[in-house]
Amino acid sequence: MKDSFKDLKMNENNPKWEKACMRVNDIYKRPNDVRSDFERDYNRIVNSNAYKRLKHKTQVFFSPHNDHICTRIEHVTHVESISYTIAKYLGLNTELTKAIATGHDMGHSPFGHKGERILSEILQRDVGETFWHEKNGLNLADNIELLEDNLRNEQNMNLCYAVRDGIISHCGEIDENFLKPREEDIDLDSYKIPGEYNPYTWEACVVKIADKIAYLGRDIEDAVRLRMLDDHLDELYEILDYNSNEKINNTTIINNLISDLCMNSSPENGLCFSEDAFNMINKIKEFNYKNIYFADRLNVSTEYFRLVINTMYYIFRKCYDQDGSLKNMNKMLSIYPRVITNFRNWLANYWNLERKENNKNKVLFDVTKLEEFSKAIIIYISGMTDNFAIEAYNNIINFL
């Protein structure tokens, strides 16, 4: 009910407050700054290149020519809007939900979840680790993404613990109809699989649920617009309990689920839906997987994505030559000038060779070690937009 969570809001009165606001390193202060720590994190996220690139990354439908089909950045905006509405009604900290929601998908690869699975296959084969976007998002925030500070030094994002936790804990698959935050402030690097732990704050729990509400409804709306569901509308109307005169759109689905969640959640029971709404969510999810995510119309592109990603990975890995990797990379510049130059310039921010004077971030990769070199390639590819990845592939095969 309204304001029923106000005593659990993440603020100075919450016993988790000190940990929630903690950063790995102190952040510079401005004497005239009027923002809270969570507002600063939101601003750091929206000014990051990882966030900006989301506008050219697939949500579900690859490279749509229709401007009204959802991309990854629009999905992020939907999650921010939904989580704000829920948090405000329940009495939680909307500044925190805004920061988490805006940054929650920064770690997504090009080509959506298909690209994510392809990168994971490569990483598991060559390094023995799995790739998943929640973990990659935390890695981007902690180690990869660089922002210029007030002294023009490039440093990592250095977000608050509560925001970092929300990014890695946001996995949208909710198998039980209640969600409560965990009590322990764990080392976030200890995550081994998506959804291993509940989020640390109620606000992050809200974002986790808002993620599911956002993608289920919008994916249906886009699929209807693209005429993918013409033969399945009767089934969909039955699941949604609509009559055939009602228009299926994202707004109606979202409104009903938000209202149901707000009316049924309580600090005692956690964030939860009514039994009817939860059953409907599971039916929608099953419908979407069958008729959208696993539909032939979407799956025909998978081998193309595999070709693009594997070709890039193969070319970049050819640069490796133990102590001679830099020399070998410079040789390959004459064959693939644009592709290798982009990779080398990116890698130079994180390797153990010469460093730019204004680089104040961590050294991440010993490029004399094949596993670390391979991991660097995966992280580099994961940051690409769909179009940048395709352009790199075309440069390779066209001798540009």
pLDDT tens digits along 175-220? 678 899 999 999 999 999 999 999 999 999 999 999 999 998 899 9
Q: Which two tokens stand for residue 53?
A: 């690139």
Work out the pLDDT band at 148, boundaries 50, 70, 90.
confident
Confidence of residue 243 (pLDDT cuts 50, 70, 90): low
Whether 383 and 50 have beta carbons less than 8 Å apart is answered as yes
Mean pLDDT for 344-368 is: 86
- Rounded mean pLDDT, 340-359: 87
Topology, domain 6-106+145-298: Hypothetical protein af1432 (1.10.3210)
Q: Mean pLDDT over residues 250-278, rounded?
A: 93
255 dihedral zone (left: phi>0; alpha: psi -120 to 50; beta): alpha
pLDDT digits (tens, 9 = 90+) for 330-348: 999 999 999 999 999 999 9
User: Residue 342 in contact with residue 392, Cβ under 8 Å?
Assistant: yes
Domain boundaries, the chain: 6-106+145-298, 301-397
pLDDT for 130:
96
What is the reported pLDDT for 54?
96
Averaged pLDDT for residues 295-318: 95
pLDDT at residue 145 is higher than 90: yes
Identify the band that residue 64 occupies on the pLDDT scale cut at 50, 70 and 90. Answer: low
Q: pLDDT for 312-333, tens place per residue?
A: 999 999 999 999 998 999 999 9
pLDDT at 244 (0 to 100): 62
Q: What percent of the chain has pLDDT over 70?
A: 97
Does residue 255 register a pLDDT over 80?
Answer: yes
241 confidence band (pLDDT: 50, 70, 90): confident
**Is the pLDDT score of 304 beyond 90?**
yes
SS3 per residue for the chain = CCCCCHHHCCCCCCCCHHHHCCCCCCCCCCCCCCCCHHHHHHHHHHCCHHHHHHHHCECCCCCCCCCCCCEHHHHHHHHHHHHHHHHHHHCCCHHHHHHHHHHCCCCCCCCHHHHHHHHHHHHHHHCCCCCCHHHHHHHHHHHHCEEECCCCCEEECCCCHHHHHHHHCCCCCCCCCCECCCCCCCCHHHCCCCCCCCCCCHHHHHHHHHHHHHHHHHHHHHHHHCCCCCCCHHHHHHHHCCCCCCCCCHHHHHHHHHHHHHHHCECCCEECCCHHHHHHHHHHHHHHHHHHHCCHHHHCCHHHHHHHHHHHHHHHHCCCCHHHHHHHHHHHCCCCHHHHHHHHHHHCCCECCCCCCCECCCCCECCCCHHHHHHHHHHHHHCCCHHHHHHHHHHHHCCC
Higher-pLDDT residue of 153 and 77 is 77
pTM: 0.95
**Mean pLDDT in residue range 103-129:** 97
Neighbours of 338 (CB within 10 A): 13
Residue 163's pLDDT is: 98
Residue 384: is it exposed, middle or buried by C-beta count within 10 angstroms (0-12/13-18/19+)?
buried
Q: Where residue 362 falls among pLDDT bands split at 50, 70, 90?
A: confident
